[in-house]
């Protein structure tokens, strides 16, 4: 039995996320976690809300609530939506937790002792209108690299280039819109990433199995321009983790907090401590400390491409720089962007489907299947309502749902609601077993390799194979001349439904549970072989005909949703 530590990128607390955020980290991470559990492996799947920094402060101010109250409320909202999408986190933590406070301050203290943090006097944007320093996300302006007019002070969302507020053209305060900004001197701490460039590069070079997307982004940040730069890890903010060296004060850093991108990845570790504190687990160190048993853990991270630099450079610099025996990530699965109907998702314009809205329209499995089967792995992907409708109707309703309905209803009409006996496999059945055996082997290899779209395509091909068998065998015709052979064919069909439910659970867990319940299949173990799996439900085993597993989306519904989420104004 292997041990898998799985984390998905930690979403910001500021509001409900759209479908692109979901498919870029949490959903494929859940797919992998569910699959590894199904294979009998031990899994710890962690996520959390990212609650510090300017996004939280700005969102709380907009909502008219104290930031701590806002974060607590939104954590509950995001946790409920995650449950709605059946994201099987072992723990969904909070970066504002006491555990993360202590651990972040610990890392800062250790890094300082090892000479990897330096104090820098620098000038920073100050807004006389607002009466405060403006951290990078409190400043917007035009990107000097691509001309995007709403670039943030830390990064341009359009071209992903890392920025400093002083780089922006025509900078303005996000709080007031004031443009009378001036530079004033302040002190901050910097993580000396440049000192670790060679060590980080050697570590990245050792990951020969990483996706090209992950490695190329990491190498770009390592080698572009002047190479890897030191990174500021403190901010002039009220909300965040106070700057301390472990339990000690940090002279000159009074009133400052750690930068959100320093403390947020540390929450992965802290979340496991929260998991133990909540009584869900007993030993977090065996997952994270290589001197306490974490050496045999396989650690996989899932994230969108915009998060790759921090997970390949800044967070590893923190872990490696500490000199302590912490577990480093083994594999980073990164994703491109999901666009919406020829453009981008937009909260302000009401453009695109957000996670809460999606669940209001259709159950989670409909979305899970489309998003995973169209995951933006090798390039950006695009959500269109026509494609969504076609995929649901053809893949879920016509192929999987229709198969389950036809087999169970025919069996009920001719043999009753028990698995019929009689007949034995012939060449057609043996050929099906061989075909499914090959496809199952491919499916397992693709799931192990986290090839999400290929896995979905192979799973669909497994469903199709059963449909083709049913069409060729035609038990409704066979029954007239040879009831025993028809009984064998339908018995095989019932066992195919069970097999499909087991194999499909990582993608569509609710449908899987529904089919297994209808079949009264108490054993949902992953098949050791197709041959044995297709004989799991023995003659005489009682079942019920399931409710409609997947319904079709009508053209009128699709047109209504297309208009509703277009972002167009009357």
Half-sphere exposure of 456 (CA within 13 A, CB side): 18
The CA–CA distances, whole Å, from 75 to 13, 35, 47, 51 equal 7, 27, 12, 9
> What's the token pair of residue 245?
């060296």
| Spatial distance between the Cα atoms of 500 and 368, rounded to a whole number of angstroms | 16
Q: Does 408 show up as a binding residue in the annotation?
A: no
Q: Does 143 show up as a binding residue in the annotation?
A: yes
To 10 degrees, the CA torsion angle through 443, 7, 49, 94? Answer: 140
Look-up of token digits 């497994």: 462
Residues 6+ away with beta carbon under 8 Å from 536: 495, 498, 521, 523
The candidate with the shortest Cα–Cα distance to 262, out of 506, 10, 512, is 10
The 3-state DSSP class for residue 233 equals: coil
To 10 degrees, the CA torsion angle through 363, 368, 369, 373? Answer: 160
| Spatial distance between the Cα atoms of 44 and 89, rounded to a whole number of angstroms | 8
Q: At what angle do helices 509-518 and 364-373 cross, to 10 degrees?
A: 120
> What's the token pair of residue 39?
């294979």
Beta-bridge mates of residue 118:
190
Phi, psi dihedrals of residue 362, rounded to the nearest 5°: -145, 155
Beta-bridge mates of residue 124:
184
> What does DSSP assign to residue 162?
B
Contact 503, 413 (CB under 8 A): no
E strands, 452-535, where? Answer: none
Beta-bridge mates of residue 91:
46
Contact 151, 87 (CB under 8 A): no
Q: Does 156 show up as a binding residue in the annotation?
A: yes
The CA–CA distances, whole Å, from 319 to 107, 152, 190, 193 equal 8, 28, 15, 12
Q: Does 234 show up as a binding residue in the annotation?
A: no
> Residues in the chain, how many?
570
Opening angle at CA 183, ends 180 and 184, nearest 5: 125
The annotation places the binding site for Zn(2+) at: 143, 146, 156, 159
The annotation places the binding site at: 143, 146, 156, 159, 347
The annotation places the binding site for ATP at: 347
């Amino acid at each position: 039995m292997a041990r898998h530590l799985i984390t998905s990128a930690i979403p910001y607390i500021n509001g409900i996320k759209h479908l692109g955020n979901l498919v870029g980290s949490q959903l494929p991470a859940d797919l992998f976690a569910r699959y590894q559990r199904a294979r009998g492996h031990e899994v710890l799947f962690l996520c959390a809300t990212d609650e510090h920094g300017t996004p939280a402060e700005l969102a709380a101010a907009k909502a008219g609530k104290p930031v701590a109250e806002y974060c607590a409320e939104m954590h509950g909202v995001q946790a409920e939506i995650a449950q709605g999408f059946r994201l099987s986190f072992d723990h969904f933590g909070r970066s504002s937790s006491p555990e993360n406070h202590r651990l972040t301050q610990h890392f800062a203290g250790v890094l300082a002792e090892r000479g990897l943090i330096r104090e820098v006097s620098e000038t920073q944007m100050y807004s006389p209108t607002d009466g405060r320093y403006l951290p990078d996300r409190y400043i917007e302006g035009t990107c000097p690299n691509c001309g995007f007019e709403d670039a943030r002070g830390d990064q341009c969302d359009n071209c992903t280039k890392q920025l400093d507020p002083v780089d922006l053209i025509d900078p303005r305060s996000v709080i007031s819109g004031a443009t009378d900004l001036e530079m004033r001197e302040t002190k901050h701490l910097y993580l000396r990433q440049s000192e670790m460039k060679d060590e980080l590069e050697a570590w990245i070079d050792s990951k020969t199995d990483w996706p090209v997307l992950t490695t190329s982004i990491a190498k770009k940040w390592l080698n572009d321009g002047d190479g890897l730069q030191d990174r500021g890890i403190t901010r002039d903010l009220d909300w965040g983790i106070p700057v301390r060296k472990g339990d000690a004060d940090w002279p000159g850093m009074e009133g400052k907090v750690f930068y959100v991108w320093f403390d947020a990845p540390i929450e992965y570790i802290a979340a496991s401590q929260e998991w133990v504190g909540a009584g869900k687990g007993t030993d977090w160190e065996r997952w994270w400390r290589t001197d306490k048993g974490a050496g045999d853990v396989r650690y996989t991270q899932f994230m969108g491409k915009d998060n790759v630099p921090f997970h390949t450079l800044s967070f590893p610099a923190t872990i490696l720089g500490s000199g302590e025996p912490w577990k480093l990530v083994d594999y980073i699965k990164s994703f491109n962007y999901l666009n919406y109907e020829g453009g981008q998702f937009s909260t302000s314009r009401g453009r695109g489907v957000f996670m809460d809205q999606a669940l209001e329209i259709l159950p989670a499995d409909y979305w899970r299947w489309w998003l995973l089967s169209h995951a933006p792995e090798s390039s950006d992907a695009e959500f269109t309502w026509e494609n969504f409708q076609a995929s649901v109707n053809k893949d879920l309703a016509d192929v999987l749902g229709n198969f389950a309905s036809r087999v169970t209803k025919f069996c009920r009409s001719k043999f009753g609601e028990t698995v019929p006996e009689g007949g034995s496999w012939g060449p057609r059945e043996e050929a099906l077993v061989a075909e499914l055996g090959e496809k199952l082997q491919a499916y397992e290899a693709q799931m192990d390799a986290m090839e999400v779209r290929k896995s979905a395509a192979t799973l669909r091909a497994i469903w199709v194979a059963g449909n083709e068998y049913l069409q060729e065998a035609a038990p409704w015709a066979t029954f007239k001349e040879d009831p025993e052979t028809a009984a064998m064919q339908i018995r095989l069909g019932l066992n195919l439904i069970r097999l499909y439910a087991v194999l499909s659970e990582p993608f569509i867990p609710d449908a899987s549970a529904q089919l297994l319940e209808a079949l009264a299949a108490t054993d949902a173990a992953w098949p050791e072989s197709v041959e044995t799996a297709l004989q799991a439900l023995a003659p005489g085993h009682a079942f019920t005909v399931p409710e409609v597993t997947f319904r079709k989306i009508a053209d009128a519904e699709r047109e209504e949703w297309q208009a509703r989420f277009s972002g167009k104004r009357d």
